[in-house]
């Protein structure tokens, strides 16, 4: 059970909950062992003919009293043990979520969202059951087994007790064999559930694409296959656990048959009295449940261990990008950005996405990056944000290598508007103010939305800034999503602002207004604009043209048009397209 070692801090913190819970559990078990003695005395009194009304009332009151104490005790051990297992569930989920937030972008490129969701749901639930119900059952079982055997010997004799325990070695063998199989099959079941979760999540996220391409039947067929695989894996597990429990029960019931035969003979021969025999059977009944529970607890622990192993794989992942212990924290950044001989290739690739990139942007100046799809434009931005670390060269912010800066310092001072314009399923106000931990003045939100030229659209909605967006901002049009994302970035008033093809869904007139607003209001801001449209970048202080990860041209708009190069060719092509469209 080494899989549970990472939870040692939780157990240490909540040890008194478990101690109190176990003490209550043991107290209840001890009282349960007194119940057969009450029936033993009652039966012996009846057999001797001395059972009078006063004795009957006494025995009834004793039985009622033990029942009440057992009921109260069960309440407390459930609160202490099962309640703490719910806290464990909360603890593990939070630990997984916090850890996932620390992992680098590369991790999410190679791990499915559905798989991660399954870890935080099914796997965590299995661990909770193992630690909660498992703790109860293993303590309850071992204590009841030991004390029941002692009471059985004291009530009758060692010979009859040995006969009753004849099946115990067989139960231990069965539990050991089945436990290993259950562990393996449950892990396979959890992996199948991860695939099912991923398939479902991906289908619903891409529902518009599925419908627009009329691929409902194809997607349904794929889901059916994954669903059937999940069903088959679960049935495979059920076949084992479904055989396991009845088989344990069958072996246990053999003990009753043996005791009825041999014990009945001893009663007939007056070797033991009837009250002792009845009490012995009560103890055997108390013993059978723990013997069966041992099988169930092995099942729970094996399931929990299999799930905890899967969770540990996540928790053992180390972020590729992290702040150094001696990382520099800057209270204020001017915004000077410098790339010096930067080269980078993505993990697993043999080709450089960027080769020998050199440029400097002074504070308050603007740089435009243009080029064909796949030329490395967004890669430059990802490296500046340290979503990936460079292979060669150096990236500086205010003359500090970004690898030496605290990650929070770096990213808090950069306003980034990515290509995909991801919006959360919450209000427009919350989306725009997302960068702030505390609530901010509504005037700032209005101002940011006006700069991004989306204010008029928002106030036209019935709920205005309280409008709740659908998943990924589906309530808004493409242009509205882009402008809302721009508002979310500029409300930070960052020293460095990056617009990564974030005006592609905006018409030319609105685009010019946004750029004019940014230029007049944020004159102090260092701006990096990535675009396919020359109209977006023509007023930038410097423009670099990328091809296959290399800078093939650089200069101002006017200078590049004077050259007979790819920038001029692209400009003339776009100019022609504009005339044709008009």
Q: Are residues 120 and 244 in the same domain?
A: yes
Q: Which residue has the tokens 């590049």?
A: 560
Residue 94 sits in the same domain as residue 202: yes
User: pLDDT below 70 — which residues of the chain?
Assistant: 1, 44-49, 51, 205, 208-209, 211-214, 288, 291-292, 295, 471-473, 522, 578, 581-582
Buried b or exposed e, range 124-145, using 16+ CB within 10 angstroms: bbbbbbbbbbbbbbbbbbebbb
Q: Do 173 and 282 lie in a common domain? A: yes
CATH at 536: 3.40.50.300
Q: What is the DSSP letter of 394?
A: E
Domain boundary among the residues 448, 470, 493 is at 493
**Phi then psi for 206, rounded to 5 degrees?**
-105, 25
Q: Given the DSSP bridges, would you call strands 496-500 and 542-547 parallel, antiparallel or unpaired?
A: unpaired
- Residue 345 shares a structural domain with residue 456: no
At residue 544, the pLDDT reads 92
Domain range for 275: 83-315
Which tokens belong to 228? 């059937």
Q: For residue 354, list its beta bridge partners.
A: 344
Q: Quote the pLDDT of residue 487.
A: 87
The predicted pLDDT at position 16 comes to 92
pLDDT at 261: 80
Phi, psi of 344 (to 5 degrees): -155, 140
Same domain flag for 486 and 499: no
Query: Which residue reads 């909950």 in tokens?
Result: 17
Q: Which of 409, 556, 431, 419 is nearest to 495 (CA)?
A: 409
Give CA–CA dist 457/48, Å, rounded: 94
Structural domain contains residue 511: yes
Give every CB contact of residue 305 below 8 A, 6+ residues apart in sequence: 1, 3, 4, 130, 183
Residue 16 lies in a domain: no
What pLDDT score does 489 carry?
86
Tokens of 372: 């064909």
pLDDT score at 581: 65
DSSP string covering 47-59, please? HHT---HHHHHHH
Number of folded domains in the chain? 3
For residues 402 and 514, membership in a common domain is answered with yes
């Amino acid at each position: 059970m080494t899989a549970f070692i990472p939870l040692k801090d939780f157990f240490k913190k909540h040890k008194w909950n478990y101690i109190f819970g176990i003490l209550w559990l043991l107290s209840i078990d001890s009282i349960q062992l007194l119940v057969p003695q009450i029936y033993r005395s009652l039966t012996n009194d009846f057999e001797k003919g001395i059972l009078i009304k006063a004795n009957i009332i006494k025995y009834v009151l004793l039985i009622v009293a033990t029942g009440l104490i057992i009921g109260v005790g069960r309440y407390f051990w459930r609160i202490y043990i099962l309640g703490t297992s719910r806290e464990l569930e909360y603890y593990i989920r939070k630990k997984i979520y916090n850890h996932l937030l620390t992992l680098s972008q590369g991790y999410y490129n190679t791990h499915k969202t559905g798989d991660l969701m399954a870890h935080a749901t099914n796997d965590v639930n299995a661990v909770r059951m193992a630690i909660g119900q498992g703790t109860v059952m293993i303590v309850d079982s071992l204590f009841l087994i030991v004390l029941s055997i002692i009471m059985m010997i004291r009530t009758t004799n060692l010979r009859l007790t040995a006969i009753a325990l004849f099946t115990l070695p067989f139960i231990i063998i069965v539990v050991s064999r089945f436990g290993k199989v259950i562990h393996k099959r449950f892990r396979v079941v959890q992996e199948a559930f991860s695939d099912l979760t991923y398939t479902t999540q991906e289908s619903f996220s891409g529902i518009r694409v599925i419908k627009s391409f009329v691929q409902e039947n194809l997607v349904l067929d794929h889901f059916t296959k994954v669903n059937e695989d999940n069903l088959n894996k679960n049935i495979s597990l059920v076949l084992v656990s479904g055989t396991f429990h009845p088989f344990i029960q069958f072996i246990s019931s053999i003990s009753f048959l043996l005791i009825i035969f041999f014990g009945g003979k001893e009663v007939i021969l007056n070797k033991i009295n009837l009250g002792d025999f009845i009490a012995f059977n009560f103890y055997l009944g108390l013993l059978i449940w723990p013997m069966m529970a041992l099988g169930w607890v092995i099942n729970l622990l094996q399931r929990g261990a299999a799930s905890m192993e899967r969770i540990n794989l996540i928790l053992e992942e180390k972020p590729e990008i992290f702040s150094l212990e001696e990382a520099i924290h800057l209270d204020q950044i001017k915004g000077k950005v410098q790339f010096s001989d930067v080269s980078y290739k993505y993990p697993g690739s043999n080709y450089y996405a960027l080769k020998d990139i050199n440029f400097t942007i002074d504070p308050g100046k603007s740089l435009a990056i243009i080029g064909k799809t796949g030329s490395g434009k967004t890669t430059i931005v990802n490296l500046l944000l340290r979503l990936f670390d460079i292979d060669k060269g150096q990236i500086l912010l205010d003359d500090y290598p970004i690898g030496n800066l605290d990650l929070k310092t770096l990213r808090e001072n950069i306003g980034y508007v990515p290509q995909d314009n991801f919006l959360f399923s919450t209000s427009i106000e919350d989306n725009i103010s997302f960068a702030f931990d505390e609530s901010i003045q509504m005037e700032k939100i209005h101002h940011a939305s006006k700069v991004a030229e989306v204010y008029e659209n928002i106030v036209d909605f019935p709920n205005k800034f309280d409008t709740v967006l659908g998943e990924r901002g589906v309530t808004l049009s493409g242009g509205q999503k882009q402008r809302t994302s721009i508002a979310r970035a500029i409300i930070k008033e960052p020293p460095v602002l990056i617009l990564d093809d974030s005006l592609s869904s905006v018409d030319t007139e609105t685009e010019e207004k946004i750029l004019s607003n940014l230029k007049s209001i944020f004159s102090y801001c260092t701006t990096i604009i990535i675009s396919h449209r020359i109209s977006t970048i023509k007023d930038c202080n410097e423009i670099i043209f990328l091809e296959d990860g290399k800078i093939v041209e650089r200069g101002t708009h006017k200078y590049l048009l004077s050259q007979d190069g790819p920038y001029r060719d692209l400009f003339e092509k776009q100019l022609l397209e504009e005339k044709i469209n008009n």
